[in-house]
Amino acid sequence: MNSVLRIFAAGIFVASPAITATCESLASLSMPGITVTSAGAVSSPVEFCRVKAVAKPVPDAGILIEIWLPTAASWNGKLLGTGNGGYSSSLGIPAMQAAVKNGYAVTGSDTGHSGGDLEFGQGHPEKIADWAWRAIHVMTDTAKLTVRNYYGKFPQKAYFSGCSTGGQQALSEAQRFPNDYDGIVAGDPGNDRIHLNIGFLWSWVVTHDNGAEILPASKLPMITRAVVARCDAVDRLKDGLIDDPRRCHFDPGTLLCKSGDNAECLTAPQVAAVRKVYAGAVNPRTHKQIFPGWIPGSESGWGGYFVGHPEPARVDFWRLWLFGDLKWDPSTFDFDHDVEWADAKLAETSALNADLRPFRANRGKLILYQGWADPVVPPEDTLQYFDAMQRAAGPGGTTDFARLFMVPGMGHCQGGPGPSIFDPLDALDAWVTKGTAPERIVAAHRTAGKVDRTRPLCPYPQVARRKGTGDIDDAASFACVAPPR
């Protein structure tokens, strides 16, 4: 391990004396492997000190880090780390703005590269490591030290919050660096990154014939409408939402065209393709499941990743990071041997360790959430990881330190017909600082900017059920109860 990284990993800091500083003086702050490039006051959305730095924990690295510091009078004494999306270098500016407005010192990074494509990792394994796990850890240590030098003390509590790739980063922190954060929010994580990309490949292959489209994107909304019509009332409440799609036994064969192809039916090859997407990637030799399929109710979003595209999403993950061949044909992927090779060569791109007992021993708290209608990360992938966490935690499971909230009708991180606007950070803060475990989190749905429905999200496996005859658009009408058998 590089000597600079060893300093960070050990939590040892070398810097100027711990006294309060002016914003501009932070430009001369000295930290191992870190160069502060600027520090200046910003007055929007609130007054804060904006610090920019570049970290080089290893020679082939250059991680851009920003730390936003509210005034001492408005600081709540806490630090919030923010995550990224996809393979993008973009900082989560809206999340950072909201956090600093609420009194948090907040930090974000570009994960060590510029742009959203995967070319940065070709021939640069250390940059892949930065993206996968190292950048967030270095960012966190850099931010904590900057906070100490600005306010004269370290943050009393540190939290991390992210969704999608940010959710994977969140779980990676809990797994690899259990002392970095007191509380973590991980949304729609896709932390089985290799197999997620295999899932995209599989779903593209089964919806195409020698590259030609079998299932047109124009038919996807029709399939979702049929699924909702079939499964909406499974929970005995007709509200346009599928409470738990696993209880929805939808057969796309019911949409089989009776007399010629048209927009409101599926041809036999299309029915077969949809069934294969639902079934998920399978090893053709052992018949072992490689990755869960996309769940009924998510079809409208398939067009973003594997339907209606000449190639599957994230094809460069394979071309640039695994095979090193810009002309590699995705239809040639071997769902047996190539899976084993990818699992061995690119292991650090995933965050799969379900044993979070070190994080628990540090009194860490974890809130996971997952959209039931997610067309990017299959909900069953998150559920399988959570089940593995339960087993690894031992008797009693994870109830005392980690809870999962499934969100009916929510797509990937947000949106969809279900209430998907909620604040897990407030719930996390109450759990960490007051010991108040989240028994429910109220989510809202907006139309034209106006809230038109609220609904409680319940800690899995509990589900929200209506109490008597109350308003189905009011969270107060629902209680969290044990799931039906």
Residue tagged active-site, from 164, 298, 350, 420: 164
> In a 3-state reduction of DSSP, which class is residue 128?
helix
Determine the number of helices (DSSP H) and then strands (DSSP E) in the chain.
Answer: 13, 17
Read off φ and ψ for residue 157, nearest 5 degrees.
-140, 150
HSE-CB of 299 using CA atoms within 13 angstroms: 28
Q: Measured in whole angstroms, how far is the alpha carbon of residue 172 from the centre of its chain?
A: 11
Contacts (Cβ under 8 Å, ≥6 apart) of 287? none
Calpha distance 200→188 (Å, rounded): 16
Find tokens 């014939």 and name the residue.
Answer: 209
Q: Is the distance from CB of 150 to CB of 143 less than 8 angstroms?
A: no
Residue tagged active-site, from 113, 195, 208, 412: 412
Q: Is the distance from CB of 280 to CB of 378 less than 8 angstroms?
A: yes
Cα-Cα-Cα-Cα dihedral of 112, 118, 119, 123, to 10°? Answer: 80
* Both tokens assigned to 402: 């980690």
* Both tokens assigned to 404: 């999962």
Task: Strand 157-163: give its sheet, edge to edge.
Answer: 34-42, 48-55, 63-70, 105-109, 78-82, 157-163, 183-187, 365-371, 402-407
Q: Examine the residue annotation and report whether 412 is marked as an active-site residue of this protein.
A: yes
Contacts (Cβ under 8 Å, ≥6 apart) of 413? 163, 164, 187, 188, 371
Calpha distance 63→130 (Å, rounded): 8
HSE-CB of 350 using CA atoms within 13 angstroms: 19
Residue tagged active-site, from 188, 244, 374, 381: 374
Q: Is the distance from CB of 64 to CB of 109 less than 8 angstroms?
A: yes
Radius of gyration of the chain (CA): 23
Q: Which H helix or E strand runs over 49?
A: strand 48-55
Q: Which H helix or E strand runs over 367?
A: strand 365-371
Calpha distance 346→321 (Å, rounded): 8
Backbone angle region of 448, left / alpha / beta, with phi > 0 → left and psi within -120 to 50 → alpha: left
Q: Examine the residue annotation and report whether 445 is marked as an active-site residue of this protein.
A: no
Closest CA to 29 of 147, 181, 157: 147
Calpha distance 342→228 (Å, rounded): 37
Exposed, middle or buried: residue 204 (CB in 10 Å: 0-12, 13-18, 19+)? buried
Q: Examine the residue annotation and report whether 28 is marked as an active-site residue of this protein.
A: no
- Tell whether omega for the bond before 461 is within 30 degrees of 0, i.e. cis: yes
Report the catalytic residues. 164, 374, 412
